[in-house]
Amino acid sequence: MSTATPIRPASDPPSPLVPREWRLRLDPLLVLAALALVVCSCVAIKGSTADDVPGDPLFYVERQIAYGVVGLLLMYAISRLDYSRLRELKYVTYGLLIGSIVLVFGLATATRGSKRWIETPFMNFQPSELGKILLVVALSGFIVDRLRGAGSRQTTARVMLLGLIPTMLVMAQPDLGTSLVYVIGTLALLFVGCAPWRHFATLAVLGAVAIALALVALPAAGVEVLQPYQVDRLTSFLHPSDVSGEEGYQQQQSKIAIGSGEKTGRGVENATQTGLNFLPE
């Protein structure tokens, strides 16, 4: 006579947003790291913006502290959620990523030739910055669902395509720096997702061809892919010693700041480039 315990039917999986038990349980090292970043940012902001608002040298520091407190509270609230279930929301996350970037073209005001910021009553919001997190969450969900096919060309191609769509939208704002971050983030996720090296070699070749087209072939044919200032930034980064004008301004000021600090540094309050207003806006 069998005495085996009957098998109970599996319960439905919890909702992706079911909160965990509300206890103050956080990784102390993670909290200390976040606090250290806030403190360091406040010190840096104090030294570089003390003269920006007459009569209120702590104007930007106070705002940074407020943002830091809000960020820490959000960190705690999100830590109560089961992050492993977020992959079930990958389509929603990706849609929010694309929608927020597209929203910029209709709501943002052009500043210095680019549309990046949406003005709100409390702060200026840059969707492409939030998009960095949304991109990682969404693509991670897609990769996890295809782990068995991580070595296939189809998986690599799909992930790259999903990463390039928001990249091109951000580049159209135009924001070359953030779009490059999107590309690097996508490649990093493919690396973590165990994509084979031959795929990265193929992507490197395709990337080199794309750069050659954007910088040489298409401009020679009269098609400007990049803005002139973007081309100047790239060339000044690759050949800083050959550039002496505005294109290499930041590299020049960085060298002067490092040289004036010598071995021990001048301290935040005695920084030459910030005190003499040599930093770009």
What distance in Å separates the CA atoms of residue 137 and residue 150, rounded to the nearest whole number?
17
Examine the pLDDT at 7 and tell me if it is beyond 70: no
Facing residues of 81 across strands? 19
Span 225-249, pLDDT tens digits: 777 777 777 777 766 666 666 666 7
- pLDDT of 206 above 60: yes
pLDDT > 70: what percent of the chain?
Answer: 77
Mean pLDDT of the chain: 79
- Say how far apart CA 121 and CA 254 lie, in whole Å: 35
Task: Average the pLDDT over 61-89 and give the result.
Answer: 86
Reference 164, options 180, 142, 175; nearest CA is 180
Sort 116 into a burial class: Cβ within 10 Å, 0-12 / 13-18 / 19+. buried
Q: How deeply is 147 buried, as exposed, middle or buried, from its count of CB atoms within 10 A (0-12, 13-18, 19+)?
A: exposed
Which residue spans within 112-252 are E strands per DSSP? 118-119, 124-125
Range with the lowest mean pLDDT among 38-42, 78-82, 211-215, 246-250? Answer: 246-250
pLDDT over 70 at 71, yes or no: yes
Angle between helices 176-192 and 127-145 (to 10 degrees): 20
pLDDT value of residue 15: 54
pLDDT band at 196 (very low <50, low <70, confident <90, very high): confident
Residue 264: exposure state from Cβ atoms within 10 A (0-12, 13-18, ≥19): exposed
- pLDDT at residue 164 above 60? yes
| pLDDT tens, residue by residue, 80-112 | 888 778 888 889 999 999 998 888 887 777 666
Give the domain ranges of the chain.
22-81, 83-195, 227-281
Under the banding of pLDDT at 50, 70 and 90, the label for residue 280 is low
